[in-house]
Amino acid sequence: MAKKMQDLLIEELSDVYSAERQITQALPKLARAAASADLRTAFESHLEETKGQIARLDRIFSLLKQQPEEKECKAMKGLAEEADELLKEDLAPEVLDAALIAAAQKVEHYEIASYGSLRAYADACGLDEVADLLGQTLAEEKATDEKLNGLAVAEINPRAVERSAA
């Protein structure tokens, strides 16, 4: 039997559910590795936000009378492995912070693409409450990306360049 749009929605919700759970494992490592107190705080804040996003996904699955599939998001696994590799490199702390922001922004961009698509699927299926919940998470992911970018431009990248020039 051919899959329907709502089947695709549920399958992709399971994927992002796995991604968010993986993020809750990765963020504490990134926070511990950050030299910048502001970056550490950003990672810690996003960890709490991510826990709320998982709760929101639980609500969505409940609305759809579904359970998330037990499958691993391979894209997030790859992004997490890349971040782990950064932690093993011999980078000056300020340069590592710049690299950690880039790694985190890759994650945010993946999530922005995922939640944007999911919200569009929910809209197409006429699932207004699900679409609204997904829109809330999408807005949070965009705000996190903007916060990380602002931190990189205003603080982290200039310090990394200064450190590299010394």
What confidence tens digit (pLDDT) does each residue in 141-158 have?
999 999 999 999 999 999
What confidence tens digit (pLDDT) does each residue in 70-95 have?
789 999 999 999 999 999 999 999 99
8 Å CB contact between 131 and 119: yes
- Tell me the C-alpha distance between 80 and 136, whole Å: 24
Domain boundaries of the chain, sorted by first residue: 5-165
Number of CB atoms found within 10 A of residue 118's CB: 25
Six-digit token pair at 31? Answer: 């926070």
| CATH number assigned to the domain covering 5-165 | 1.20.1260.10
In this prediction the pTM is: 0.93
Amino acid at 14: S
